[in-house]
Structure 1
Amino acid sequence: MPEILYEVNKWINFLEDFRGFHNDKLEKQKVLVASLLADGHNLGFAKMSIASGVDEFALRRASEFYLNYDNLSKAQQTLVNYHHSLCIVKNWGSGQSSSSDGMRVPINSKTIYADYNAHYGIRKQDHYVLINKLLNLGDKLYVETMSYKRLQIRAKNTTINEKTGRISKKKCFGKSLANKAPSMFLIMLDNKLKYNGEKLYKIDTTKCKASQYNHFLDEYNKKELKDRWNKGMYIQRDCYSAFLIMNVNDDLKSINREISRLKKLKLNGYKLISSMGI
């Protein structure tokens, strides 16, 4: 596969389409090609580093700098235009239609208002870009378990809004969840971590309720979704939850609130929220 990419690059210099990359030395080409293969074949940088002999850090940096949506789209356009310029393609028509491999995705009804489903194609590519950025920050990632199916369920009972006196909408997060595809993102992230010998750590939210926990008092205070700040502590709710999850115990069911350990973290260079009192 690398030899094929090198040969095609001699024909059309598609590597020049990666903005900021100077296609002058073979070693530089090797790093970019190895990064493309690692991302395209979903091998991960660790395995590609072993297979190619290229430093893993160099692969990660090349992916971060060059493998963005604009560069990939431009390189793909160069390849398609060259393919269209060949004489043999005229045997299959004017080139306005394509006989490419595809997947049929059924929808509930046929309508002129139908649009492309972002769950496929571009959304998946965006997920990989974000995953590569996350893996550059570290390889031990925690998430809270969540039922996305429940978020898509519409309310059954009709209620009246107390402020407006109107009927409340039975709106759910079905469309936004389908577009953003968070469940697919977590599966892709977990697969990438497994290639590097790690896994995605899932917090047990029935035991470890980070959004409700107060590590100062060692108690749980239930909050409404609209409450974005912790009362009395002046800490934004999501930031505080992330801090607590960072200090979760190995059982993933409880939070380690040892102040001495937090002080050690700060001495080792970790930035803690000033409101923590450490």
Structure 2
Amino acid sequence: MHFFGYAFAILSAVCSARAQLVNANNNTFGNVFNFWTKRTDGWDLTRGNSTNAITLALPHPEGNVTIQPAASALVIIDMQNFFLHPDLGGDPLGRALVPTTIDMIHAFRANGMKVFWTNWGLTEFDLMSMPPAFFRGFSSDGTSATSFGSDMGTIQGNISVGRKLMRGSWNAQPFGDLFEEQVGGVANGTDFYFNKNRLSGMWGTSTPMQTFLEDNLITTLFFGGVNIDQCVWGTLLDSYYKGYDVILVDDISATTSPSAATGMVDFNAALNGWRANSTDILPTLM
């Protein structure tokens, strides 16, 4: 038999045996490559790697969630000047999230879990390929002249706001103290910055964030940021579609939308994964 035939036969036998082992247990959900284990006290998401595992008591009817720190990350979405700075009409509810978000960042780093910054950061090519609905949605006055890529002028006399949500512009950088956290974290290798060109940071066949997740075997994602019903929800939902564990952290998420929008996200996030608050997570991590 040809070498590749032998290799394929061996791989098939191993996968078949492992699949039978996994499927023989009615408390195991998934497949040989990606599975959860249901326990009497909740769920084990470590996929068989329990080294330094952490168990979080989340407010979910099905109990605790045990995670593998090396396979877990905090995803912070769109906490940018454009959405939060008061001189740009930013959301005060979003600004109020900053201290708790920083507490979460520090706790994740301390436990060896990565921090992802997933923000709008457009290029000239993105402008060439952007659908008309997005240009309309980000127009300030109903014309395309004030949408993506337009010059937003200056504020406070000397701050150049830059072109709307373009990569490297001041308006696209993290807001307030989050900017120092992001710069310091990236420099120290604990944090990673991913630009996106749609509401979802996981939209499309592959994105920079998804490639990083795959390369680093990260499977469990905690989500926060703005807006909870738009970019946070879109990124969480695409992550869920692609097979990642999704945990929405409510008290580091906000929106300018009516309360019903948050209610929809909370309801469906609990079906797709889990909902939590930082108060459910920080005591264990700290």
TM-score (norm 1): 0.24
Structure having greater relative contact order (Cα 8 Å, sep ≥ 6): 2
Larger Rg: 1
Q: Which has the higher strand share?
A: 2
Q: Which has the higher helix share?
A: 1
TM-score (norm 2): 0.24
